Amino acid sequence: MTKTTLSRRGVLKSGAVAGAGLALPTIFTASSAAAFTNEPTGGTVTLGFNVPQSGPYADEGADELRAFELAVEHLNGEGGGGMMNTFSSKALKGNGIMGKKVQYVTGDTQTKSDAARASAKSMIEKDGAIMISGGSSSGVAVAVQGLCQEAGVIFMAGLTHSNDTTGKDKKANGFRHFFNAYMSAAALAPVLEKLYGTDRQAYHLTADYTWGWTQQESIQAATEAMGWKTVNNVLTPLAQTDFSSYIAPVINSGADVLVLNHYGGNMVNSLTNAVQFGLREKQVNGKNFEIVVPLYSELMAKGAGQNIKGIVGSQNWDWKLEDDGTKAFVKAFGEKYGFPPSQAAQTCYAQTLLYADAVERAGSFNPCAVGEALAGYEFDGLGNGPTLYRADDHQCFKDVLVVRGAENPQDEFHLVEIVEVTPVEQVTYDPEHPMFAGGNLGECNPGA
Amino acid sequence: MDAIILQILNGLDKGSAYALIALGLTLIFGTLGVVNFAHGALFMIGAFCAVTLSKLFNLSFETLDPTKKDFLGNPLKVKTPYVQEWFGPDVGAWLIDWSVPLAILFSIPIMVAIGFVMERGLIKHFYKRPHADQILVTFGLAIVLQEIIKSNFGANPVPTPAPEVFRGSFDFGVLLGFDPNVIIYPYWRMVYFAFAAVIIGGVFAFLQFTTFGMVVRAGMADRATVGLLGINIDKRFTIMFGLAAAVAGLAGVMYAPINSPNYHMGMDFLVLSFVVVVVGGMGSLPGAVAAGFLLGILESFASMNEVKSVIPGIDQIIIYLVAIVILLARPRGLMGRKGVMED
Amino acid sequence: MGILEVKNVNKRFGGLKALSEVNLSIAENSVHAIIGPNGAGKSTLLNVLVGKLIPDTGSVLFDGQSVLGRTPYEINQMGISRVFQTPEIFGDLSVMENMMIACFAKRDGAFTMQAIGSMMKERDIVEKAEQMLDSMNLADKRGMHSASMSRGDKRRLEIAMCLAQEPRLLLLDEPTAGMARADTNNTIDLLKKIKQDRDITIAIIEHDMHVVFSLAERITVLAQGTPLVEDTPENIKGHPKVREAYLGETQVAA
Amino acid sequence: MLGLNRKDTAILLVVAALAIFAPIILNLFPARSELAFFNAGYPDLMQRFVIFGIFAIGFNILFGLTGYLSFGHAAFLGVGSYAAVWMFKLLNYNVVPAILLSIVVAGLFSVVIGWISLRRSGIYFSILTLAFAEMSYRLAYSVLTPLTNGETGLQVYTDDPQVLMQAGGHIVPHLFGLEMRAREVIDVGPWQFVFPVGYYLCAILMLVSFYISIRIFRSPFGLMLRAIKSNQTRMTYTGLNPKPYTLAAFVISGMYAGLAGGLLASMDPLAGAERMQWTASGEVVIMTILGGAGTLIGPILGAGTIKYLENVFSKMNEGLLHKWFAFLPDWVESPVIWVVSKFTGEGWHLMLGGLFMLVIIALPGGLVEGGQRIMRLFGRKPKAETRTSTEPAE
């Protein structure tokens, strides 16, 4: 990394003050004494939580923020400790991170890469954040990850599902706990085969932007490998609200499965429209017509209401899992907020703990040391079973859930039920897999 | 052929939503000369009237069911809607099921009241101000309204299904002599189209055949002269604003089952409805309706695979492309009057 | 050969024949009035002259050159300036600025890109504008917001702006419409003075016979889109056809 | 000075002083104090202030002078950014070719859009520009991904050609070796001031832009533009052709937008498609009107105000509110926080929407008018800016 030596230190500089151990943001600059960007020198350390607070994903952002607050509480030794108690690593003591009390700042990504970067920059440059986390779309994750790489802080991705985040656009300073489109496809394929057989004609509706394409590509590859045929793949505009003109032709296309590569509002609307058109009751090619939504979330299930019944998809995590980590987390979260956490919340909570733990184990906040501690790290007890943070691409490998909309939910928290937990072996891929090729982690950047 | 019929149906359906919103927008514009960027928000509030009524009917008391557990392992609280308790399970269930159509009645007074308050409280002071100021203040209002909805209902869409009998779809193709399952169309969308036709017809009839409507039309043509006749045109214009708000609100109520309402649906429709109004010609009611249907149908055609494979991405931009072409070919849109909004 | 030659001009609006076989010749340096009852086609004719309307057939020659097919600003640059019935001025700008715009238009033509030229350097324009304002008795109002002036002042400003362009033909569209008698007389005096001071042709469309007969050297009477008579004021006054078609008894008495 | 009269020189000097000392003025509060939250003196935000200032200054040349309300100006900002990033990808990280190309590309783009859109006026013109910008945004997000990198945003990859890149060359945007992100940090007692290179480049360009805009306002050309706004009929009948004037204004403001876009990319080499969305176009309209359309300094004020409020209010979370209002007794604190939280954090849009309404209702002339009223209140004659006088100084 090129060091900036613009000029001599300003004459006004008061060495005594600078040395007094202030937690000042010392950004990107070589002229400070810090060894890396935003080195915490006082009794506190600042984390930046960058989540969508406005726009269609605001509710997801709010849930992420709840998880972050909970994680900070637990790190600082307040509350019950949550998943810290079940976490396989015991480095965290509940006394902050390396004895420094954890503080946090928040910002609004607006689900726009520009706004997200501005918000992250404000955290890094003004508030002295040493780690940025959160977000609920891949465009934002890639943009902020790139920024953190340049600035020399760690990025712990929130909800981002595109292959690119740890593929083409992977960065040494960035880490993803959430699963990706390839894994969704790999987990879904065997279940789809079991449920719907190998002789199926699939029709894809795909959101016309990067994430949609990578997901469609992944699902098509996985389903074709088991014998399905792809009748058509139609790209739909991101801004589309009424999908009727895309759904209507499906009926007469000879397809007997509809795959909706949509997320958020797009998915709620396209699914609602598909059910309105009576696709679920149709018989095509002598089989029941089926709809698949590869990436699920609780909030989307809530938005789609009854239309979600019987629809199969995949999730990173679900609060109904039975392991100790999940139970501890759901208890802590549920008692604090009155409802169970979403998968977005879980990934954000886990990322925060993982970061803090890595700092403890590395014995330093230096992003390079932290990165080293995270890369190749194996852990358990954070709700997903045994997990590996792979060194090659900073992607977590863990079991993936295949879920289905419940037919008769007992309450609004039981809208989805777990069909199967696809073991990690099935979703693991080679780092050089063509869908992930072209990227380069590069060198870790400590900033200063 | 069947694909084209299908897309025409889709287009009519989409077009009826555009036309309803554009109708109110152009009504306000034509009578008051105000560019109302909050009109999309009125549509959104209409949809949330349906959501609210459905939530009201679903207001429940809780009883503990010790046989089941909630997510924290405590006994499950089973919810029973009050309406089922008060009116018996059947009537209660019927009320809940029919909450969207019932919301029509519920929403009219609310929307008219909102319209009155908006006009008297805010819009009135902007008649003489530049259009840019009107745009900005109503845009500000739209943001405020949608944020209020967001803080009460969240950002996530709220499912608001149609009554049971209207779910599912109707096989049009058989009616027209095609094979079964070729042209099917959801019942509720047909209801929406019929509803829109009634509302549009109603508004036109009202303006055409009542003295009130005649005065308003005269006012649209020449406000000063009507004022000179000693007719209190301002009061009538307030009522027109209420009417326009009600039309937007009703469009929203009935739209709720088509797509789950969310707080920014108004903004999604806002730009589109402006394009519709301008393509139709500012201040022209038939123009707005015609443009609504035209753009709806063209949008549907553009999303056909056959079209998309020739021009990739055409469905992304069709509306804007058509708007540009029409405005270049016809300076004031399809049926615009001269001198309106050109300065 | 007059400075303006209108030959066989026809103009229809749908089924309505607004102008039919109009022939008109305006002599250089004369004051020529065009009168006629409402709907006689005066405004249509005027709009043809300034390029706002294009006639269906016929020709309009200004100083030997056709004006047909040219835009209003091109025709203006040829030397025809128009004064409107209700004064058209730049209401948001100061009186001086109004004046300067006209001076720039005369000097620089329809368009020049002087994006960052300084106004302070435009000595000649400023001087000319001030001179014009002086001659129109508007000098004391130079800094005034022009929209807030009286109607008479607006009228004078508009005429001043037209004159600043040194037109060869000045078209006046009912310049005294809606004015009080005193203002009307002032305007008449003003126009007389203008005529006196410079070589200019004035064509005036007017309702008010008092104005017409005070100013005009020749009068054309239009009726139903076609010129009825053209003659000197004295002859027009007594012309039986004119009485019949237009003047009626009342107006002449006035 | 510089061909300006005394008043304009004063305005220019004030803006220059504000720009030069912004790192100090904006970091009013000591770095560790609670109030440091309200500081804005960090590189990214300061850069945004001046970049969006440039954008709004340019927009004001079109809207403030001619009255043509473009609802698609963000498209020029967007293409400017894309052009700049492409220069980084193809040549190297030097910002000079990037900024030049962004101005040129945005200029060409605005010639095309302006030439078509200006065939109509009023709201018809607004809708045409809106249509072009929305089309650009939607295509950039989807079909044009090979050119724009779609959702992710255009960025520089290590395998890009970068033909002028030398071994060991700078891998961040720089001005002939002077890195944009370099900065000087100076501590004065408890205060800390950051002087970033990138900011000063933007600030210098902003001052140049501002100076040019003053010259345009005070030029015969500017007078013609105001004539267009005032009365197009009189204009044509005075022998002036409004169309090339309007087109020139449109293209100039498009180039300003392109410059702003190029600078955004130079400060942070990633260009997202959202930059071209209609909401982004709406933002510059709001900035201009909020500050005071048609005034010189208004757009800069508007841009700064919006960017600052967006930054500060979106970052206020409930934890922070609890800290601030901890001095209140509980039964007061909870409702206070409940109310305030509706306007901050997740609710910051509500605050913004309310503010637009308030300013537009109470101050039709924008913040500049507010300033003038305050001046009047203190008994001074508002010699400040007015919309009209371009009277030549004698």
Q: What is the pLDDT of residues D284-308, one digit of tens each?
A: 999 999 999 989 999 999 999 999 9
pLDDT for the residue numbered C247: 53
Taking residue B279's Cβ as centre, other Cβ atoms within 10 Å add up to 30
* Minimum Cα–Cα distance from A232: chain B residue: B305
C126 interfacial to chain D (CB closer than 8 Å): yes
Q: Last residue of a domain, which of C166, C184, C218? A: C166
Q: Are residues C162 and C188 in the same domain?
A: no
| Chain D residues 1-40 with CB within 8 Å of chain A | 31-32, 39
Domain limits at A98?
A: 17-179+320-393
Sheet with A174-176: list strands edge to edge. Answer: A101-108, A44-51, A131-134, A154-157, A174-176
DSSP tag of D215: H
D240: nearest CB among C73, C84, C88? C73
| Chain B residues 248-277 with CB within 8 Å of chain A | 258-260, 262, 264-265, 268-269
- Nearest chain D CA: its distance from C76 CA (Å): 5
DSSP tag of C3: S
B143: nearest CB among D138, D293, D353? D353
Are chains B and C touching, using the cut-off of 8 Å on CB pairs and a minimum of 3 such pairs?
no
* pLDDT tens digits, one per residue of D241-285: 999 999 999 999 999 999 999 999 999 998 989 999 988 999 999
Which of D119, D127, D314 is most worth mutating to test chain B (most B CB atoms within 10 A of its CB)? D127
Do residues B253 and B48 make contact, with C-beta atoms less than 8 angstroms apart? no
In the three-class reduction of DSSP (H, G, I as helix; E, B as strand; rest coil), residue B179 is classed as coil
Could you tell me the pTM of the whole model?
0.91
Q: Is residue C84 part of a domain?
A: no
Q: Which residues of D touch A137 (CB under 8 A)?
A: 151
* Minimum Cα–Cα distance from D66: chain B residue: B343
Q: Is residue A36 part of a domain?
A: yes
Q: Are residues A379 and A275 in the same domain?
A: no
From A141-150, B186-195, D129-138, D156-165, the region with the lowest mean pLDDT: D156-165
Q: Are residues C54 and C66 in the same domain?
A: yes
Domain limits at C188?
A: 1-79+167-254
Q: Is residue A162 part of a domain?
A: yes
β-pairing verdict for D178-179 and A283-284: unpaired
Do residues A229 and A259 make contact, with C-beta atoms less than 8 angstroms apart? no
Average pLDDT, chain B: 87
Which of D26, D92, D152 is most worth mutating to test chain A (most A CB atoms within 10 A of its CB)? D152
CB contact under 8 A, D139 and B316: yes
Q: Is residue A203 part of a domain?
A: yes
CB contact under 8 A, A138 and D317: no
D278 interfacial to chain B (CB closer than 8 Å): yes
The alpha-helical segments, DSSP class H, found in B122-165 are 131-153
The single residue listed with the structure tokens 């429709």 is B269
* pLDDT tens digits, one per residue of D341-378: 888 888 899 998 998 899 889 888 889 999 899 988 88
Do residues B277 and B131 make contact, with C-beta atoms less than 8 angstroms apart? no
Q: Which residues of A touch D158 (CB under 8 A)?
A: 440, 442
pLDDT for the residue numbered D136: 95
CB contact under 8 A, A305 and B260: yes
Q: How confident is the model at residue A223 (pLDDT cuts 50, 70, 90)?
A: very high
Which of A231, A276, A318 is most worth mutating to test chain B (most B CB atoms within 10 A of its CB)? A276
D2 interfacial to chain C (CB closer than 8 Å): no
d(CA A320, CA A296): 15
Q: Is residue A54 part of a domain?
A: yes
Assigned token pair, B310: 């020739």
| E strands in A67-150 | 101-108, 131-134
Check whether A21 has a pLDDT greater than 70: no
Q: Last residue of a domain, which of C113, C144, C166? A: C166
d(CA D175, CA D169): 12
D255 interfacial to chain C (CB closer than 8 Å): no
DSSP tag of A388: E
pLDDT for the residue numbered C254: 37
Q: Are residues A208 and A223 in the same domain?
A: yes
Taking residue D211's Cβ as centre, other Cβ atoms within 10 Å add up to 18
CB contact under 8 A, A245 and B169: no
For residue B337, what are the CA distances in angstroms to A271, B282, B331, B332, C146?
42, 7, 10, 7, 30
d(CA A377, CA C243): 109
Q: How confident is the model at residue B228 (pLDDT cuts 50, 70, 90)?
A: low
Please give the torsion angle defined by the CA atoms of residues C193, C199, C200 and C201, in that order, rounded to the nearest 10 degrees: 110
Domains of chain B, with CATH numbers? 2-53+100-329 (1.10.3470)
Check whether B84 has a pLDDT greater than 70: yes
D221: nearest CB among C106, C114, C145? C114
Which of C74, C86, C114, C116 is most worth mutating to test chain D (most D CB atoms within 10 A of its CB)? C116
* pLDDT tens digits, one per residue of A153-196: 999 999 999 999 999 899 999 999 999 999 999 999 999 999 99
CATH number, position C196: 3.40.50.300
Q: Last residue of a domain, which of C135, C166, C197? A: C166
Average pLDDT, chain A: 88
CB contact under 8 A, B72 and A411: no
Assigned token pair, A354: 């993982």
Q: Are residues C22 and C43 in the same domain?
A: yes
Q: Which chains touch D (3 or more CB pairs under 8 A)?
A: A, B, C
The alpha-helical segments, DSSP class H, found in A76-137 are 113-121
Do residues D271 and D148 make contact, with C-beta atoms less than 8 angstroms apart? yes
d(CA A174, CA A167): 11
b/e B287-306 (16+ beta carbons within 10 angstroms → b) = bbbbbbbbbbbbbbbbbbee
Q: Are residues A274 and A421 in the same domain?
A: yes
d(CA D238, CA C101): 8
Which of B44, B167, B169 is most worth mutating to test chain A (most A CB atoms within 10 A of its CB)? B169
Q: Are residues A243 and A336 in the same domain?
A: no
Q: Is residue A443 part of a domain?
A: no
Q: Is residue C85 part of a domain?
A: no
Which of D128, D356, D363 is most worth mutating to test chain B (most B CB atoms within 10 A of its CB)? D356
d(CA B184, CA A273): 13
Q: How many residues does chain A have?
A: 448
d(CA B279, CA B290): 9
Q: Where do the domains of chain D lie?
A: 6-284
| Chain D residues 58-87 with CB within 8 Å of chain A | none
Q: Is residue A307 part of a domain?
A: yes
Q: Is residue C56 part of a domain?
A: yes
Q: Which residues of B touch D138 (CB under 8 A)?
A: 313, 316-317
Q: Are residues A171 and A41 in the same domain?
A: yes
Q: Which residues of D touch C96 (CB under 8 A)?
A: 391
Q: What is the mean pLDDT of residues B278-303?
A: 91
* Minimum Cα–Cα distance from D364: chain B residue: B133
d(CA C97, CA A75): 70
Q: Is residue A216 part of a domain?
A: yes
Taking residue C140's Cβ as centre, other Cβ atoms within 10 Å add up to 10
Which ipTM value was assigned to this complex? 0.89
DSSP assignments along D154-197, one per residue: EE--TTS--TTPPTT--SS-EETTEETT-EEEEEETTEEEEEEH
CB contact under 8 A, B144 and D289: no
Count CB pairs under 8 A between chains A and D: 164
Q: Which residues of A touch D314 (CB under 8 A)?
A: 53-54, 107-108, 119
Q: Are residues A51 and A128 in the same domain?
A: yes
DSSP tag of D392: P
D183: nearest CB among A24, A29, A122? A29
pLDDT for the residue numbered A378: 95
Q: Are residues C14 and C129 in the same domain?
A: no
Does A356 or B239 have the greater pLDDT score? A356
With pLDDT > 90 as the criterion, what percentage of chain B qualifies? Answer: 44
Q: Is residue C61 part of a domain?
A: yes
DSSP assignments along A346-381, one per residue: HHHHHHHHHHHHHHHHHTS--HHHHHHHHTTEEE--
CATH number, position A92: 3.40.50.2300
D181: nearest CB among A28, A143, A208? A28
Q: Are residues C180 and C65 in the same domain?
A: yes
Q: What is the mean pLDDT of residues A348-356?
A: 96
CB contact under 8 A, A53 and D314: yes
Q: Are residues C69 and C125 in the same domain?
A: no
Structural domains of chain A, count: 2
- Nearest chain C CA: its distance from D74 CA (Å): 23
Q: Are residues C20 and C116 in the same domain?
A: no
Q: Which chains touch C (3 or more CB pairs under 8 A)?
A: D
For residue B209, what are the CA distances in angstroms to B203, B212, B216, B237?
10, 9, 11, 17
Q: Are residues A161 and A267 in the same domain?
A: no
Q: From the centroid of its chain, how far is CA A66?
A: 15
Q: Are residues C198 and C150 in the same domain?
A: no
Do residues B281 and B335 make contact, with C-beta atoms less than 8 angstroms apart? yes
Are chains B and D touching, using the cut-off of 8 Å on CB pairs and a minimum of 3 such pairs?
yes
DSSP assignments along B60-71, one per residue: EEEEEEEEEE-T
Long-range contacts (CB closer than 8 Å, 24 or more residues apart) made by C83-86: C83/C155, C83/C158, C83/C159, C83/C162, C83/C170, C83/C171, C83/C172, C83/C173, C83/C175, C84/C158, C84/C173, C84/D233, C84/D237, C85/C173, C85/C174, C85/C175, C85/C177, C86/C177, C86/C178
Q: Are residues A26 and A82 in the same domain?
A: yes
* pLDDT tens digits, one per residue of D172-207: 899 998 888 888 888 888 888 999 999 999 999 999
| Chain C residues 150-179 with CB within 8 Å of chain D | 158, 161, 165
Q: Which chains touch A (3 or more CB pairs under 8 A)?
A: B, D
A410: nearest CB among B9, B68, B313? B68
D166 interfacial to chain C (CB closer than 8 Å): no
- Nearest chain A CA: its distance from B121 CA (Å): 28
d(CA D149, CA D151): 7
pLDDT for the residue numbered D384: 43
From B145-154, B275-284, D209-218, the region with the lowest mean pLDDT: B275-284
With pLDDT > 70 as the criterion, what percentage of chain B qualifies? Answer: 95
Radius of gyration of chain D (CA): 22
CB contact under 8 A, B154 and A242: no
CB contact under 8 A, C93 and D234: no
DSSP tag of A334: H
Does A42 or A292 have the greater pLDDT score? A292
With pLDDT > 70 as the criterion, what percentage of chain D qualifies? Answer: 96
pLDDT for the residue numbered B226: 67
Q: Is residue A399 part of a domain?
A: no
For residue B158, what are the CA distances in angstroms to A244, B48, B107, B259, D133?
19, 9, 17, 9, 31
